[in-house]
Amino acid sequence: MTRQLHLNLFLMPRGHHESAWRHPGSAPESLTDLQLYAKAAQIAESAGFDAVFLADALVAPTTGGLVASGHLEPITLLSALAALTRRIGLIGTASTTYSLPYTLARQFATLDHLSQGRAGWNIVTSWAPQAGQNYGRTTDAGHAERYAMAQDFMQAVDALWRSWPAAAVIDDRAGGIYADHDLIRPVDHRGPYHATLGPLNVPAGPQGRPVYVQAGQSEDGRAFAAEWAEVIFTAHLAKNTAQAFYGDLKSRMVAKGRRAEDVVILPGISAAIGSTQAEADRVFQELDALTSPELGLARLSARFGGYDFTSVPLDRVLRASDFPDPAAVEASKSRAMGIADLALREGLTMRKLLQRLAGARGHLTVAGPPEKIADVIEDWFVSGAADGFNVMPPIIYEQLELFAEQVVPLLQKRGLFRTRYTGRTLREHFGLGPVGHSEPLARSA
């Protein structure tokens, strides 16, 4: 079968540029208006996107009101979108650090039923200053311990989703038997961080369980992805680093006894589209003009676990000593290291670095006519850098509509992307095999 490109909409309510909320071309609705999310998801669905993805944050914003924030909770929102869409997948973020396995398993099983098999779970090992205090914790787990917690969490939820297989539901009204209880079994999971008896009180959904999505790029994150992930969101500013990551993850999967094609790797791309290069460039210029160094510094600080960058001059070329030791960063180590490497490699000032990050926070940004955007996507796809892209429009709806109406048809004409949905479930969209329920998944020790 010919390899197929995958496209996922990473939906930020008014766009991915930090100043999109101020741009006159961005969505007019409130960030808490269901119709904003529904319209964006429907645009992506009309173009045949595999899924729409919602990120999440577990702390209130620290940017002093300079950026739009206060987004809706993902699983609840995706449940509403399930009724307003028909085919597009629905991927929501939920934390293994601040969730309970039984609750999360019920939520995603419910979403899979409501969407008729379109649910995906973006697995995150959350960390942010004050996040633990929001959940009654006086101390937060370090980077390595969070991944140990995640392993325990995954074993628990994976078992819960297998505890009540769909085949157990008989629903024999005449005979008076609703379920075959011989097929429903407790899991009795007792791990170092979580314990749950089970079985789950919701039957398995159409997919068996949600598609497992993950985004860690650190050594711990890659090891976790090789074992569990089916879709990987990743951030790269250059094709060569994306190729190295792609090759490394596929090799790690094979070493775990999995097939390389059993994971879909999607770097992020934020494309500003115009009829000419100058018109496309103006999109980012207009957005950059609406932002401020104060906002950029606050967001950079969050990326580095609360590190204070305010004493660094804005217009001096950055030095290694301007950044904290990556080993001491408890947030996303890989993203922090990538940002520091970019600044030092390209000799950026702080002001220039903040401008680079304002558009897509360390993901690939491209500006140009539709043909240029399609060329970049095709190049990365055919050269072993990506299986597709996590599309991050700088402005919603304006740039999303341009991507759907002008870039997607070019990819279809080149035979890279579907012209219609051929499957019903998210697992089918991504070309992933079914999940069995009679036996546990094979896992390496």
**Of 219, 200, 218, which is closest to residue 210 (Cα–Cα)?**
200
Residue 171 buriedness (CB in 10 A; 0-12 / 13-18 / 19+): exposed
- Residue 430: CB partners within 8 Å, gap ≥ 6? 6, 50, 51, 89, 211, 230, 231, 264
Q: Are 105 and 163 in contact (CB under 8 A)?
A: no
Q: Are 264 and 6 in contact (CB under 8 A)?
A: yes
Distance spanning both ends of the chain, measured CA to CA: 33
- For residue 293, the surrounding DSSP H or E stretch is helix 293-303
Residue 242 tokens read as: 């994306």
Whether 349 has a binding-site annotation, put simply, is no
Whether 218 has a binding-site annotation, put simply, is yes
In 310-405, alpha helices (H): 333-346, 350-360, 370-382, 398-402
Q: Are 125 and 146 in contact (CB under 8 A)?
A: yes
**Of 287, 390, 304, 372, which is closest to residue 339 (Cα–Cα)?**
304
**Of 65, 57, 115, 62, which is closest to residue 86 (Cα–Cα)?**
115
Whether 397 has a binding-site annotation, put simply, is no
3-state secondary structure of 41: helix
Strands (DSSP E) found in 275-371: 364-368
Residue 433 tokens read as: 């095999």
Whether 23 has a binding-site annotation, put simply, is no
Whether 97 has a binding-site annotation, put simply, is no
Provide the annotated binding site.
56, 93, 143, 147, 218
Provide the annotated binding site for FMN.
56, 93, 143, 147, 218
